[in-house]
Structure 1
């Protein structure tokens, strides 16, 4: 007990010593790093992002996004830091910001926007996270509560106290999320107004993304799946939210002149030809088949299995999400290693049973099972300097035989692409067309590669979901 006054004194010093003025509000916020440290943290994180994510190879579009983002950043509360805007080659509908001004927007989000003003609203929102130092503040809270937990544990001799403080710290971080997102929306609207855009573009974006989220959620629910959506208030708050309406209204008072930038046609022209969905660099999913032109490989998955193509792993699971098979790839320095030698090296001292060597055009493979309560199917395929490593597993405890035959079928389906495969592996692309008199989305959907989803997806792409129809002369996004 005699240590508690000292503990309180130390905690007070920690909190007071970690305060700094918010660049936006001027109020004192709890932070534990300088601006120089923030820049270093953002640079380090951006280098990791570069290793994990591919940037879109479209210099014209990248320059366009950088130009609009820079214009907004120049009107922000932290115009002196170097902002870098990047388009990520991902079909996911998302955007995010790192400390220090590194901002990313996925092409999957860009194609669902319909004007330069809407893109500016997303970029402005992410700039708001940087100017208000949201990433730094959350990092500081996490660091601070961890240190506080350690001090409480030392001062009281009660490990539970440290655990409790960590729980509270986690709650504080999560609790900040809602307010920070609203603050970023307000700042984004303010930067839009100062740059000559309609602040209401924030609401337009929220409405479009909310429609996309609703449609995807309905579709996922019908299939018994979960859906990932864009972070923040853009996905969780309705456009009629009172606080959101207030921050947008406040920004409207900052607009100058009658002419406000929209940039619909210019923006849509930038999207013409953009890949929709998977890209060849990441591999293409067509039904139950995965095709990768650069790796010259094809895999076939059992009917009903869900294929998830991620930058670091190709994952597939059974409809009930109980069985999983994952594929990773690596480059070999020793081209003389056999598939069996490689697999045994990767599993270490674990025992292998039911081993089987197999081969195909240009490659050799080896597969086996790791027995036990959590038995797994593993395999390696070696082709020149390329190695493809598989692991199949299931949730909980149970016989591997429930899924093993399907695991083996998937692994043994590995083969190089045929001429027909290469044609099928061509990506879908956004194309612009002028709506003609009498056009409907049902007509435009006929023959679309989007299949049964075509009519709904075309409405979503053109901000006319769920029942809108095109107007004659209007530029429309279609998928071909």
Structure 2
């Protein structure tokens, strides 16, 4: 299987290489994206995005054509479009969107890239350049990939890219107006992105890096950008007879409980890892070994691919004796060869080789203490000739044994987004203190509520917070 960074680089090349423009389909890219970034598991939210997206398409020049809208489980603030009418939105972007109209502005902008033919042919190389680095960064998790992509993107964005972004804004504002939304919500959304970009640059400056958001063409703030205001104002002529509000209530309903930041629940556990949350212990079986459902009193058991080796774990109440004495005096284990003390994760333990009898092969025996329990490992092989090689794997597995810490347990529970009403006493510093947030988190709290870099919420105003 290809590593995450390599897949990302292949995807980057897949999208921008002129040699593959004709051969690569949107479905190819879709498959590659989902190989590295999963779909966010919220059917109602996904359906909400699809409904809004299809409403936008119905107001466009491509009404009646099929579009695919996908919500990706990525914490990055990003959205992008690819050929064959595929539009992607990252979960992380929804964390920063404040209402339905702002979400529509993002979707309409990406649909605009497609309807204005920015994602196909040679024009696609320019229009997609800036987001390609973001795709690669999101899928690889690599700052190096991000920076390399941005270097390429910035060399192109000065040309066709600037024009295409404004064309997509113009198209998006038109579709918003036709649906009854205020096109000015697009300026609000882009203003938030500019604030986010400023914050990211501030954070990255100390690391000698540069960060850029998904639109990122404004040298000035969007609220003061005359080009953006011009294209948005043009959309007023398309204004629908029946107007819509900004849909803040609906957006709150769909995004209540949305995961903020890293989604620990979506992270795949190593297939070889055994964890017992009741006893709070874990260890890793050898790679590619098949875990099976053990019979009592075994706690865990797994076999090698060729079924010639087996490792099992048993838990039992310990005594006041040390691990070595427990083995010999309590379990009555025969004298071990090469016996020695061990300390996986600084726990007390003892291990050695139990010589085989009556033509049976040798076994690896190990005992580790944790709290009130003794954990007995037994590594067995069917043939003595296989023992030396298998024993290396047994020892590695035994040494991987460790407690599951409170931090690890808490880390498995991600932060989520919630909405509260501000009172006259509500301040962002006060919220941060109550939620036990860091000074860095306060800036994010301000941005997602439209109060960066200063200001305080008004009494009765809905405030977005994130907490574990």
Give, in whole Å, the separation in 1 of the partners of 2:420 and 2:51. 26
Q: Aligned pair 1:436/2:423, yes or no? A: yes
| Compared CA separation, residues 122 and 337, structure 1 to 2 (3 A) | same
Pairing 1:192-271 to 2, within 5 Å after superposition: 192-221=176-205, 223-233=206-216, 238-239=221-222, 240-257=224-241, 259-271=243-255
Instruction: Please report how far the alpha carbon of residue 210 of structure 1 lies from its aligned counterpart in structure 2 after TM superposition.
Output: 0.7
| Compared CA separation, residues 65 and 178, structure 1 to 2 (3 A) | same
Q: Aligned pair 1:472/2:459, yes or no? A: yes
Instruction: Please report how far the alpha carbon of residue 58 of structure 1 lies from its aligned counterpart in structure 2 after TM superposition.
Output: 0.3
Instruction: Please report how far the alpha carbon of residue 463 of structure 1 lies from its aligned counterpart in structure 2 after TM superposition.
Output: 1.0
Give, in whole Å, the separation in 2 of the partners of 1:188 and 1:117. 11
Instruction: Please report how far the alpha carbon of residue 451 of structure 1 lies from its aligned counterpart in structure 2 after TM superposition.
Output: 1.5
| Compared CA separation, residues 199 and 413, structure 1 to 2 (3 A) | farther
Pick aligned residue for 2:288 from 332, 347, 360 = 332
| Compared CA separation, residues 139 and 454, structure 1 to 2 (3 A) | closer
Give, in whole Å, the separation in 1 of the partners of 2:272 and 2:410. 15
| Compared CA separation, residues 471 and 128, structure 1 to 2 (3 A) | same
Give, in whole Å, the separation in 2 of the partners of 1:465 and 1:413. 46
1:121 aligned counterpart, secondary structure: helix
Pairing 1:337-416 to 2, within 5 Å after superposition: none
Q: Aligned pair 1:280/2:251, yes or no? A: no
Which position in structure 2 is the counterpart of 1:400? none
Which position in structure 2 is the counterpart of 1:184? 168
Q: TM-score, normalised by structure 2?
A: 0.60
Give, in whole Å, the separation in 2 of the partners of 1:87 and 1:55. 6
Give, in whole Å, the separation in 2 of the partners of 1:297 and 1:108. 31
Pick aligned residue for 1:52 from 26, 36, 42 = 36
Q: Aligned pair 1:66/2:22, yes or no? A: no
Question: Unmatched 5+ residue regions in structure 2?
Answer: 1-17, 127-153, 276-285, 291-302, 307-341, 346-398
| Compared CA separation, residues 297 and 93, structure 1 to 2 (3 A) | farther
Q: Which moved more, 1:79-88 or 1:89-98?
A: 79-88
Q: Which moved more, 1:208-217 or 1:451-460?
A: 451-460
1:86 aligned counterpart, secondary structure: strand
Instruction: Please report how far the alpha carbon of residue 137 of structure 1 lies from its aligned counterpart in structure 2 after TM superposition.
Output: 2.9
Give, in whole Å, the separation in 1 of the partners of 2:169 and 2:287. 44
| Matched residue count | 316
Q: Which moved more, 1:246-255 or 1:76-85?
A: 76-85
Give, in whole Å, the separation in 1 of the partners of 2:272 and 2:189. 37
8 Å contact kept, 2:40–2:73: yes
Give, in whole Å, the separation in 2 of the partners of 1:184 and 1:32. 25
8 Å contact kept, 1:111–1:461: yes
Q: Deviations over 1:266-296 (max 9, x none)?
A: 112222111111112455xxxxxxx969986
Which position in structure 2 is the counterpart of 1:319? none
| Compared CA separation, residues 101 and 66, structure 1 to 2 (3 A) | same
1:130 aligned counterpart, secondary structure: helix
| Compared CA separation, residues 198 and 32, structure 1 to 2 (3 A) | farther
Give, in whole Å, the separation in 1 of the partners of 2:409 and 2:27. 39
Instruction: Please report how far the alpha carbon of residue 207 of structure 1 lies from its aligned counterpart in structure 2 after TM superposition.
Output: 0.6
Give, in whole Å, the separation in 2 of the partners of 1:207 and 1:73. 24
Q: Which has the larger radius of gyration?
A: 2
Which position in structure 1 is the counterpart of 2:438? 451
Give, in whole Å, the separation in 2 of the partners of 1:236 and 1:106. 25
Pick aligned residue for 2:112 from 101, 109, 128 = 128
Give, in whole Å, the separation in 1 of the partners of 2:436 and 2:270. 19
RMSD, matched Cα: 3.7
8 Å contact kept, 2:272–2:289: no
Pick aligned residue for 1:423 from 410, 420, 425 = 410
Give, in whole Å, the separation in 2 of the partners of 1:109 and 1:258. 28
Instruction: Please report how far the alpha carbon of residue 231 of structure 1 lies from its aligned counterpart in structure 2 after TM superposition.
Output: 2.2
Give, in whole Å, the separation in 1 of the partners of 2:43 and 2:83. 24
Q: Deviations over 1:4-37 (max 9, x none)?
A: xxxxxxxxxxxxxxxxxxxxxxxxxxx9999xx6
Instruction: Please report how far the alpha carbon of residue 63 of structure 1 lies from its aligned counterpart in structure 2 after TM superposition.
Output: 0.5
8 Å contact kept, 1:229–1:235: no
Give, in whole Å, the separation in 1 of the partners of 2:422 and 2:101. 22
Q: TM-score, normalised by structure 1?
A: 0.58
Which position in structure 1 is the counterpart of 2:66? 82
